[in-house]
Amino acid sequence: MENILLDMGVVLLASSIIAFLFSVLKQPLIPAYILSGVLLGPVLGLVTDYKNILLLSEIGIAFLLFSVGLEVSFKKLRLTLGTAALIGVVKTSISFGLGYFIGLWLGFSSIQSVYFGLLLSFSSTMVLVKAFSDKKELETLHARIVVTILLIEDLFAVLSLALLSNLSALTQGFNLTPFLKNLSLISGMIIAALILSPLMFKHAARNHELLFVMGVSMALAFAAVFKAMGLSIAIGAFIAGLILGNLPYNLEILGRVKPLKDFFSVLFFASIGLSFSLQSLRSVLTPLIVVIAFSIAARPLILLTLMAISGFDKKVSFLTSSSMIQISEFSIILAFQGLVLKHLNQEFISLIVLSAIITMSLTAYVLKFNKKLYKACMRVLKFLDKFNKKTKHFETPIYKHYPVVLIGYDRTGYSIFRTLRRMGKEVLVIDYNPDVIQRLLRQGVACIYGDGADPEILDRINIEAVETVISTMPDLEDSLFLIRYVRSKNKKAVLIVTASTIDDALQLYEAGADYVILPHFLGGEHASLILEETSSNIDSLIQRKLEHIRELHFRKHLHGR
C-alpha cells in the first residue's frame, strides 16, 4: 500500500509539473501526462514497478468512457445523422482500410494491422473540443462538423474496443449457451436500468452528493458485471453512461464525475508513458514517420475531398480537415487493451505513445494558425472547385444592386435580417453553410454561398455601390480583412462587424469599423432594458416571456435547433 501511494504521488506530482509547463506553451495536456510517464519510467527509472498504476488506470478508461456515454444522448444522435455524420462514417472506413493495408506493408501481423488501421482512423475528442472551447469556436460551422465526426468516430472506437476485447471468442467460434446467458444478463440489466433510473435519479437529483454517488455506483456496477463475464469494464461503464446520458440530469452527473475522471485519466495516460520502451525507438522510426505523414497529410486530404463532394466550400473543408490531424485518446485506449490481451507488444505501444505526443502537440499550432494556413493554401485548394460544383447553384443570380450585404445569417444574423426586412431594405445574404443557403433559397431570399472573407466572393457583389455591410463573423482576422477590402473600394459604406472580446472590438474600431457588435455585451444591455421596463409591472414581464417563448419555438422550428 505504501508503494502504491508513493508511486501515485510521484506520478501525479510529475504530471502536474509537466502539464503546467505545457499549458504555459498552450499545448494539450494529454501529451504532458504521457511524457511524465516516459520520464519517470524508461528515462529516469523512478517508477519501475508500475503494475499497480496500470490496474488503477483501467478505472481511468472506465470513467473516460462513462463520461463519453453521458454526453451521447439519443436526441443528439438523431440530430447528427446528416451529411457530417455520413462524412464521418466514410472517412473513418477509408482511413481504417488504408491503415490496415499500410500496416501489412510495414510487416505487421494481421491483428497488429487491425490496430494500426484503427490508430489512423480516429482523432481526439478531448483535444479538439477543449481547443475549440478555448478559442470560442464551438458554435462555428467547421467546429460543429468536427464534433459530429468525432461522435461517429467515438462510436466506432467503442464498437472496436468491444470486438477486439472478445476477438478470441470470435475467432474460435461462439459457444452459444454462455453467449446467450451473457446477452440475457446484459439485456436484463439495461432494461432494468432504463426503467428504474428515471425514478431513482429523479429523487437523487434533489441531493447533489447522492446524485454523484448513484452515478458512480451505476458505472462501477456495470463495469463489475462486464468484468465478471470476461468482457471489457470500459464497455460496461460506457453503457451505464449511455443510459444516464438520456436523463435530464446527465450534465449534472457529468459535472460531478469530471474531477474523478480527470484524476484517473492522468494515471491512465501516465501509465502509457511508463510502459514506453526506449529500446524500441529505432525499430518504430519507419512506422512513426508513416503515422505522422498519414495523420497530417493523407487523412486531412481524404476528409477535405469528402467535404468538397458534399457541398462545403474550401474554407470550411480546410478548417475541418486540418484540425483533425492528431492521434485519438481512443487509439491509446485500444492499444492499451491490445497490450493487456497480448495482441500487441511494447514496440507497438511505443509507436502509439510517440505518435500521440507529436500529433497532439502539432494540433495546438495548426489550430492557432489555421486561418493563415488556409490563405497560404487557397490557390492549391482550387482543385476542390471541381468537386463542389453543385454549390455554384446555391445562390441567387445577382442582376441588381443590393444596398445592404449581410455576412452570416444564422443566429445573430437572423435577427438583423428580420429587422432590415421590416425596415423595407433589400438585403443580400452571404453564408458558407449550404443548409442555411438552401433554406434561404426556398424562402426566396437573395443569397450567395461562400465565405464573407473570400475576395472571390466579395468581388462579385459590386461592393462599390453597397450602402451598408454587416458581418456576424466572430473571427478577428476575417473582420480585419473585410474592413480593409471594403474601405479600399468604398469609403462611404457603413461597416458593422462582430467581435468576441473587448480588445478585438477596439482593434476593429481602429481599423475603420463604424460599429462593432459584442454579442455578450448586447445580451446584457438587452436584459437590463427589460428589467428597467418591467421592474414595476409584472404583467409586462409575463407578456415579454410569452413573446420570447413563441420566438424561441419559431426559431427552433426554422433552424432545427
Query: What pLDDT score does 525 carry?
Result: 63
Average pLDDT, the chain: 79
Residue range 466-490: mean pLDDT, rounded? 88
Residue range 226-244: mean pLDDT, rounded? 77
Query: What pLDDT score does 105 carry?
Result: 92
> All 3 cell numbers of residue 109?
501481423
Model confidence pLDDT, tens digit, residues 255-294 = 788 888 778 778 877 877 777 777 767 778 888 899 999 9
Residue range 57-63: mean pLDDT, rounded? 75
Q: How confident is the model at residue 395 (pLDDT cuts 50, 70, 90)?
A: low
Q: Is the pLDDT of residue 315 over 60?
A: yes
Q: How confident is the model at residue 396 (pLDDT cuts 50, 70, 90)?
A: low
Helices (H) and strands (E) in the chain, counts: 26, 6
Top mean pLDDT of 248-252, 354-358, 427-431 is at 427-431
Cα–Cα distance, 336 to 268 (Å, whole number): 9
Which neighbouring-strand residues pair with 494? 468
Q: Which residue has the higher pLDDT, 21 or 338?
A: 21
Nearest to 395 by CA among 439, 452, 437, 433: 437
| This prediction's pTM | 0.70
Q: Which residue has the higher pLDDT, 471 or 310?
A: 471
> Which run of H or of E encompasses 233?
helix 233-244
Output the CATH code of domain 394-517. Answer: 3.40.50.720
- Please write down the HEC assignment for all residues of 464-514: HHCCEEEECCCCHHHHHHHHHHHHHHCCCCEEEEECCCHHHHHHHHHHCCC
Looking at CATH, the fold of the domain delimited by 2-377 is given as Na+/H+ antiporter like fold (1.20.1530)
Residue range 70-93: mean pLDDT, rounded? 71
Q: Kindly report the backbone phi and psi dihedral angles of residue 515, in degrees, each rounded to the nearest multiple of 5, phi listed first.
A: -155, 145
Q: Where are the domains of the chain?
A: 2-377, 394-517
Residue range 315-323: mean pLDDT, rounded? 86
Q: Is the pLDDT of residue 490 over 80?
A: yes
Residue pair 378/319 in contact by the 8 Å Cβ criterion: no
